[in-house]
Copies of this chain bind each other. A is one copy, B any other.
């Protein structure tokens, strides 16, 4: 079991907030990197390069950790354990393909709205695959986050959205399930033992590099512009902004794996959903878009959801009937009620007691 209880809630909050800022600038950078509405570079190369950067950084961090504390840097190296690490990459490959087919059935707005389903599917897997307990209020909070994200994306005029054939919706649901599975499975991998996070990352990103490389090779043979060789021209069209995107992707990924090890996938979901709303808000000033009532309402709903999910419920205080926070069991979060940090509460090690979870 990971030693997550030794990480303070404030630190989790800082990492989650940093992830939000990084995810948010991702959207803005990608928008800014377009030339006449198109990417002037091979956009499939960006994830490969960022996997590579993450792999190199993780190797360096792992070396430093081993030099400092050889005994404390636990590394499980038997094949049975290592062979679990390509699974997230394989799920992502499947996910990419399902996304591709979904796009064939639904328009872009509907596609974006269907993407929010992953919030609910992540909650369901979090509960039933990882066995983590959630209160009714937390279920409602996740439902509200989904609704809030959807509200912000309503483009408005009637008949424009949600008029796709059933196959499109089915694929959208499948896509949400795969996305949730990848997230929850990664959390399971990172928390299943006390292995050093950097060692776990090295395994994850090594397979990530391999699968992304395979994908580019596949594109060279069977893709639209087949016949080239990505190894020789992969950074064609790159500008300073493109490299910033690569660096941004890399650090976002490292923050996500840190959160999945020491907090949980739901914290990640909140960070990325907040980023989506923040991006929409910043786009208003950056790209001169009109602020919509929908966006304002969506942000309000997401804020309500955040408070409901992470703040402990307010209990009656008078008459001296102090209600003690239940902090027994493995699921102690060191800070829950005191720091009042918005992100601090959701973090409990996998399989730990459910006391801390239920209180938040």
Contact yes or no, A314 B151, CB < 8 A: no
What residues of chain B lie closer than 8 Å to A317, measured between beta carbons?
A: 358
B150 touches A314 (CB 8 A): no
Cβ of A152 to closest chain B Cβ, rounded Å: 10
A99 interface hit (Cβ, 8 Å): no
CB contact between A316 and one of B137, B159, B161, B326 (< 8 Å): that residue: B326
Distance, CA A94 to CA B136, complexed state (A):
43
Tell me which residues from 82 to 109 in chain A have a Cβ below 8 Å from any Cβ of chain B. none
> Contacts A140-B307, A308-B308; is A355 near B319 (CB within 8 Å)?
yes
Residue-by-residue, is A344-360 near B (CB-CB < 8 Å gives 1, otherwise 0)?
00000000001100110
- Which one, B297, B311, B326, contacts A319 given CB within 8 A? B326
- By size class, the interface of chain A is 35 or more
Q: Are A158 and B156 in contact (CB under 8 A)?
A: yes
State A77–B132 Cα separation when bound (angstroms). Answer: 62
Q: Closest chain B residue to A356 by CB distance?
A: B316
A301 in the interface, Cβ–Cβ < 8 Å? yes
A314 lies within 8 A of B355 (CB):
no
Cβ distance A10 to chain B, nearest Cβ, rounded Å: 21
Are B144 and A311 in contact, CB atoms less than 8 angstroms apart?
no
The verdict on A304 contacting chain B, using a C-beta distance below 8 Å, is yes
Does A79 count as interface, using CB distance less than 8 angstroms? Answer: no
A308 to B290, CA, bound (A): 33
A326 smallest CB distance to B (angstroms): 4
The smallest C-beta distance from A146 to any residue of chain B, in angstroms, reads 9
Minimum Cβ distance to chain B for residue A181 (Å): 25
A72 lies within 8 A of chain B by Cβ: no
Given A137-B314, A304-B140, A318-B355, are A157 and B156 neighbors across the interface (CB < 8 Å)?
A: yes
A14 located at the interface, meaning its Cβ lies under 8 Å from any Cβ of chain B in the complex:
no
Residues on the B chain within 8 Å of A321, using CB: 324, 326
Minimum distance in angstroms from A327 CB to a CB of chain B: 10
**A328 beta carbon closer than 8 Å to chain B:** yes
Q: Tell me the smallest distance from the CB of A219 to a CB of chain B, in Å.
A: 35
Q: Contacting A147 at CB < 8 Å: which of B154, B300, B355?
A: B300
Assembled-state Cα–Cα distance A359/B355 (Å): 20
Q: Does A167 contact B (CB under 8 A)?
A: no
- List chain B residues, Cβ under 8 A from A319: 326, 328, 355
Q: Which of A157, A293, A314, A321 has the most CB of B within 10 A?
A: A293
Whether A143 is near chain B, meaning CB under 8 Å from some CB there, is yes
Interfacial chain B residues near A359, Cβ < 8 Å: 316
User: Does A18 interact with chain B (Cβ within 8 Å)?
Assistant: no
User: Measured between alpha carbons, how far is A311 from B140 in the docked complex, in Å?
Assistant: 12
- Please list the 10 inter-chain residue pairs (A to B) with the smallest Cβ-Cβ separation, ordered nearest first: A156-B156, A313-B313, A316-B326, A316-B358, A157-B157, A135-B314, A136-B314, A140-B304, A156-B157, A323-B323
Extra 14 A-B pairs, beta carbons < 8 Å, given A143-B304, A150-B297, A158-B290: A136-B311, A137-B308, A140-B304, A143-B300, A147-B297, A147-B300, A151-B294, A316-B326, A318-B354, A318-B355, A318-B358, A319-B326, A321-B324, A323-B323
